[in-house]
Amino acid sequence: MKERPRICVIDGQGGGIGSIIVKKLRENFEEKIEIVALGTNAAATMAMMKARANKGATGENAIIHTVKEADIVIGPLSIVLANSMLGEVTPRMAEAIASCGAIKLLLPLTQEKVFLVGLRKEPLPHYVEELLQMLKEIINV
């Protein structure tokens, strides 16, 4: 992993999940990482920017283009499901995220009719703590 990894945090709708992730990343890694907020809409991007992402962009083209340069992509499972988040995640977005070369850390949260068998159901803060531990191992911090 390079010295200052580029982490893309992707979220949609109100950006609540993404903003929590960005806030925790900033608290734990300070400026050792570059955080790029990618929202499926402007509200999601703004929420993540307020949580102190370094950069932000919105929409299908921004997501498709930016994940190509990411070292790590973080978001809810829905970001790789076409037409999820009430249709905000387009098939092109889902494909670009799923097939990019970045490491993907996906939280098992979805509003879709998708269930992950064998996975324990936990509240969001527990998943975020587990995500932080995995990320520390990946980037050796």
Closest CA relative to residue 44, chosen from 8, 92, 1, 80: 8
What does the pLDDT look like over 45-83, one tens digit per residue?
999 999 999 999 999 999 999 999 999 999 999 999 999
In a domain, 1, yes or no: no
Residue 85 belongs to a domain = yes
Which residues form the domain of 30?
Answer: 6-139
Residue 90 lies in a domain: yes
CATH assignment of the domain containing 79: 3.40.50
Measure the CA–CA gap between 23 and 35, rounded to whole angstroms.
10
Q: Per the domain annotation, does 125 fall within a domain?
A: yes
The tens digit of pLDDT for each residue in 86-114 reads 999 999 999 999 999 999 999 998 787 88
What type of residue sits at position 106? L
For residue 23, being part of any structural domain is answered with: yes
Q: Note the pLDDT of residue 141.
A: 67
Report how far apart, in Å, the C-alpha atoms of 74 and of each of 70, 90, 97 are: 10, 17, 10
| pLDDT tier, 116 (very low <50, low <70, confident <90, very high otherwise) | confident
In a domain? residue 99:
yes
Residue 127 maps to a domain: yes
CA dihedral 95, 83, 125, 8 (to 10 degrees): 40
Number of domains in the chain: 1
Asked whether residue 42 is assigned to any structural domain, the reply reads yes
